[in-house]
Chain A
Amino acid sequence: MIRMAILKLLQIYQKVFTLLSYGSCRYYPTCSEYAKWRIEKDNLFTAFIAVILRILRCNQLFPGGIEYPVIKKELKDVKYKKIDVHYWLIPKGRSKFILIKNFKGN
């Protein structure tokens, strides 16, 4: 529920607010996009913290650039069948994954 509401808000933000400051984010994915991915795939609390830290980093004192979210996840009950790919999980250390959205899949 909360997740859906936040995602909706973020969507509105992206549509409306971006007009005021078109293309101001120093990162890829942009802060708002980053937030969307995190909220979809991470637990809410860590997502919030990560997003706040990301926004704080998004200023001219930091280099910016490509920075994907890294999430913690235990893979279990993996079923092997054909699925739609929404996100790619790229292993990074123990039970940590780099999260990359699959835009082509949608």
Chain B
Amino acid sequence: MLEKMSTNQRVILATVLSLLIFVAYDYFFIPKQPPKQSETNTTQYVAKSAPQSNLQAPQSAPATSQSSKVNESGATKLGTTTLLHVKSKRFEMFIDDLGRIHQVILEEKRYKTESGEQIKLFDEAKLPKPLEIRFSDIALNEKAFKVPYSYQGPKALDIKEKTKITLTQDLGSEKVKKIVTIYPDGHYEATIELQKGHKYFISPGYRPNVRVDGYTLHGALIKEKDGTITIIEDGDAKGTEIFKGAKIAAAFDRYYTTLFYDFVKGMNVIVSKDAEDNPILFVEGSPKLTLGGYVGPKEYETLKAIHPELTDVIEYGFFTFIAKPMFLALLALYHWIGNWGWAIVALTIIIRIILFPLTLKGMLSMQKLKDLAPKIKEIQQKYKGDPQKLNAHMMQLYKKYKVNPMGGCLPMLIQIPIFFAIYRVLLNSIELKGAPWILWITDLSSKDPYYVLPVLMGITMFIHQKITPTTITDPMQKKIFTYLPIVFTFFFLTFPAGLTLYWFTNNILSIIQQLIVNKIFEARKAAQKEQHE
């Protein structure tokens, strides 16, 4: 069927197909507005048992969700009353009467939902909450969810420096003491002391539920002793997985995280799963356990200030190895220039400058090629119908005269990882969320609302094609070539504005470069003409 279509029809078909893929991708992977959490607490007390693992003593009980029923019948529902309210310049933290971090609201101006409210990190219905303790002993575990923690001290704290709070729970056969030192930047140190040393687990909490979408990763991340990073995405949790001596255990969405860390002794991390196969993190407890923790946005500099290794929590997916240096370069440029959009432009120029020696060699080679023009024509005539042979003979000619006009596959292929790295940086870096460029571009991480940049990108691409001499002789390919800017414009419509900005800048630089090359050619031609006369 394809053979029967005209070139035009094929191009249209290709365009339509690529658009369809895009629309389909949007439809299936773009976040659907999560259903509003109902007021009922039916889901709240599901699976409140300790994770099963072979780390546990053999008496470990069958951990089923049955134990949760007790709570629903109970007269008072614990875990909904705020025991303590901690406020700093950056966040507002609510600690409930089960000694857990119930909710964290980000107080900074940039952390606002679309409706203008400050962002709440946690989904009220999701368990566990950060610092939630679960005992292996079922009876004790049930009791632990029925007896409230007590706390002596002011109910509301406005912290400017690290502040220590002590929470205690008397379970009769066991006494729990949680000493939490909270820092104004959102990290904390928690010490758990148990009088009798019952076996228990403590969780950094269910992941924040603010930005969950199909474009970016969300789930759990564990950094092990030897530095390997394991990511268990939502929906992929297999049941119980154990990581011994891990440094970091983080639950995260696109921009936010709640995590535990211990870089000295390491933690035994157990990953269990919920009904949706999302990973739930627990750390094995000990009679006196000390952990570091953090709740908040995955800001590079905040995390680095707490501990440099914590920046590993910022994941860019497959291209992390190139995306991370890319982000650092952008960050440095941002500090210098003060605008993320201009930082992207500057970075594009810098990448070009790095690749310039290659480009220069190519330009010089092209000048030499002009002298070979008659010979090339001869070969082209001779092997008109046989592209393979033509190609081979051209190569022979180039070799003989030590020229090669082609750019090469590497400079072209290298664009792909750079492109994806910038894409990932734009999507995954909280710093770029809501970062403006100029005029109408108010958020580089989302699409251009007026589609000006994609159109400009298409136009510059077209201009670049027009002024670049091509070797294309096949009319079909020539046609497709001219349609390419249009196809690209459509592709870029929904891309983050920052990415379009990168490609647009790149095009402009290509045009400038090509104009210079063309100028040199003309000058040479003129000079040769003069010589002849």
Q: Which residues of A come within 8 Å of B, CB atoms? A: 19-28, 30-32, 55-66, 103
Main secondary structure, interface of A, reads loop
Cβ-defined partner of B395 (8 Å) among A31, A59, A60, A64: A64
CB distance from A36 to the nearest CB of B (A): 13
Q: Indicate which residue in B399, B410, B484 contacts A20 across the interface (CB closer than 8 Å).
A: B484
Q: Is B319 an interface residue (CB 8 A)?
A: no
Q: Which residues of A contact B406 (CB under 8 A)?
A: 23-26, 64
- B359 cross-chain contacts in A, Cβ below 8 A: 60
Nearest neighbor of A62 in chain B, beta-carbon distance: B408
Residue of A nearest to B359 (CB): A60
The complex places the Cα of A23 from the Cα of B481 at a distance, in Å, of 13
Tell me the complex Cα distance, A32–B398, Å: 20
Could you count the A-B residue pairs with CB atoms below 8 Å apart for me: how many are there? 86
Residue with the greatest number of chain B CB neighbours at <10 A, chosen from A23, A27, A66: A23
**CB pair B409 A64 closer than 8 Å:** no
- Closest A residue to B396 using CB positions: A66
Q: Is B480 in contact with A60, judged by CB distance below 8 angstroms?
A: no
**Contact between chains at A66 and B395 (CB < 8 Å):** yes
Partner of B413, one of A55, A64, A66: A55
Return the 7 tightest CB-CB contacts between A and B, nearest first: A65-B399, A28-B395, A58-B409, A60-B361, A59-B410, A59-B408, A64-B404
The distance from the CB of A85 to the nearest CB of chain B, in whole angstroms, is: 15
Q: Tell me whether A24 and B407 are in contact (CB under 8 A).
A: yes
Question: How many residues of chain B are within 8 Å of chain A by beta carbon?
Answer: 31
Q: Is A19 in contact with B404, judged by CB distance below 8 angstroms? A: no
Interface membership of B173, Cβ < 8 A: no
Interface window among B84-92, B428-436, B470-478, B513-521: B470-478
Cross-interface CB contact of A26 among B404, B472, B480, B481, cutoff 8 Å? B404
Kindly state the separation between the CA atoms of A61 and B360 in the bound complex, as whole angstroms.
10
Contact of B399 among A19, A22, A63 (CB under 8 A): A63
Whether the Cβ atoms of B410 and A58 lie closer than 8 Å is yes
Residue B506 is within 8 A (CB to CB) of chain A in the complex = no
Complex: A19 Cα to B480 Cα, angstroms: 8
Given A28-B391, A64-B398, A64-B404, answer yes or no on A55-B480 (Cβ-Cβ < 8 Å).
no
* Cβ–Cβ contact A60 & B362, under 8 A: yes
Residues facing A in B377-416 (CB within 8 A) are 388, 391-392, 394-396, 398-399, 402, 404, 406-413
Bound Cα distance A95, B460 (Å): 53
Extra 12 A-B pairs, beta carbons < 8 Å, given A21-B407, A22-B477? A19-B481, A23-B470, A24-B409, A24-B411, A26-B408, A28-B391, A32-B409, A59-B411, A60-B361, A63-B399, A64-B399, A65-B396
Contact assessment for A25 and B470 in the assembled complex, using a CB-CB cutoff below 8 Å: no
Contact in complex: B392, A66 (CB < 8 Å) = yes
Q: Which residues of A contact B408 (CB under 8 A)?
A: 24-26, 58-60, 62, 64
Instruction: Give B392's nearest chain A residue, CB to CB.
Output: A28
Q: Which of A19, A55, A103 contacts B410 (CB 8 A)?
A: A55
Query: In the complex, what residues of B have CB within 8 A of residue A55's CB?
Result: 409-410, 413
Q: B55 interface residue, CB < 8 Å from A?
A: no
Output the least CB separation between B438 and chain A (Å).
29
Contact A66 B399 (CB under 8 A): yes
Assess A27 versus B395: contact at CB under 8 Å? Given A56-B410, A59-B410, A103-B388: yes
Q: Does B358 contact A (CB under 8 A)?
A: yes
Most buried by A among B395, B408, B472: B408
A23-B407 Cα distance, complex, nearest whole Å: 9
Partner of B484, one of A19, A24, A26: A19
In the bound complex, CA of A58 to CA of B358 (Å): 11
Of the A-B pairs whose beta carbons lie under 8 Å apart in the complex, a sample of 26, sorted by A's number, is A19-B481, A20-B484, A21-B412, A23-B406, A23-B472, A24-B407, A24-B409, A24-B411, A25-B406, A26-B407, A26-B408, A28-B395, A55-B409, A58-B409, A59-B358, A59-B408, A60-B358, A60-B362, A60-B404, A60-B411, A61-B357, A61-B361, A62-B408, A63-B402, A64-B406, A66-B399
